[in-house]
């Protein structure tokens, strides 16, 4: 067994045989080689993704139910929808701000539940083609959902704050929000934008146990982000055309 293979195994406490780190029972003697993780604790796991993402995503890997996946997708949706509205410069139209907020609150979660599960299928395909990693949808979706924790926090905390501070001005270019309120815009905007590269850095962590190194995974998963980026651009163009 090579050092790289050894890194992803755990010794059975009963017979000492090496088993894959996600294996629950020893393939040699049938004894338990790790604790069961029946379900995930939402707030503990969210905090863990910020404090110790490597250990936390490994716990996500071991969890049996992969719960909260689609809840996280729904929470990320409002920020994605607002980004499309921002790119479409909806604030330059006659649409009332109340309708915009309602659209973000109602349409955002729906957008997240449509785009992100589709992205999980795209993620599975890429990993299989490039690295030979075969994952169930529920595993790929769970890794994606928990890696989007920074985006989720930005959607749940920063987006409402920005809507409250800027109102319809957030989506306008006449005048742009960075001219009217430069300090709040660049402060909150920078924090919001940084949630994306942070999520990009987290995504490869869940797949290291399957063999590839982090750098290889990060480079190949840059292709993954093309799908959600293209979807947001298409949504912005469609919104601009409709409104």
State whether 60 and 177 are in the same domain. yes
State whether 93 and 151 are in the same domain. yes
Count up the domains in the chain and report the number: 2
CB 45 within 8 A of CB 39: no
Q: What is the DSSP string of 4-44?
A: HHHTTEEE-TTT--EEETT-SB-TTT--B-S--B-S--HHH
Closest CA to 140 of 85, 24, 131: 131
Asked if the model's pLDDT at residue 1 lies above 60, the reply is: no
What range defines the domain where residue 151 resides?
40-242
State whether 96 and 145 are in the same domain. yes
Q: What is the pLDDT of residue 4?
A: 42
Confidence of residue 211 (pLDDT cuts 50, 70, 90): confident
State whether 135 and 207 are in the same domain. yes
State whether 128 and 27 are in the same domain. no
State whether 101 and 139 are in the same domain. yes
State whether 10 and 122 are in the same domain. no
CB 161 within 8 A of CB 99: no
The predicted model gives 37-55 an average pLDDT of 93
State whether 69 and 113 are in the same domain. yes
Contacts of 215 by beta carbon, 8 Å cutoff, 6+ apart:
none
Paired tokens of 55: 């250990």
State whether 22 and 50 are in the same domain. no
pTM for this one? Answer: 0.90
């Amino acid at each position: 067994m090579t050092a790289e293979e050894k890194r992803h195994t755990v010794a059975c406490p009963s017979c000492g045989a090496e088993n894959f780190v996600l294996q629950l029972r020893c393939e040699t003697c049938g004894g338990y080689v790790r604790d069961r993780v029946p379900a995930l604790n939402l707030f503990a796991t969210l905090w863990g993704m910020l404090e110790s993402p490597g250990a936390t995503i490994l716990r996500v890997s071991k969890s049996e139910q992969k719960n909260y996946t689609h809840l996280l997708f729904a929470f990320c949706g409002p920020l994605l929808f607002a980004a499309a509205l921002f790119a479409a410069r909806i604030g330059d139209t006659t649409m009332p701000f109340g309708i915009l907020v309602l659209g973000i609150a109602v349409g955002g979660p729906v957008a997240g539940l449509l785009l992100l599960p589709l992205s999980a299928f795209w993620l599975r395909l890429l990993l299989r083609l490039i690295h030979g990693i075969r994952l169930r949808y529920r595993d790929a979706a769970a890794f994606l959902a928990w890696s989007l924790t920074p985006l989720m926090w930005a959607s749940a905390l920063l987006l409402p704050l920005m809507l409250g501070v800027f109102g319809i001005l957030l989506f306008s270019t006449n005048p742009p929000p960075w001219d009217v309120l430069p300090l709040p815009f660049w402060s909150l905007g920078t924090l919001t934008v940084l949630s994306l590269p942070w999520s990009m850095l987290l995504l490869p962590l869940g797949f290291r146990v399957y063999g590839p190194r982090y750098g290889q995974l990060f480079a190949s998963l840059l292709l993954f982000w093309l799908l959600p980026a293209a979807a947001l651009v298409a949504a912005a163009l469609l919104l601009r055309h409709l409104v």
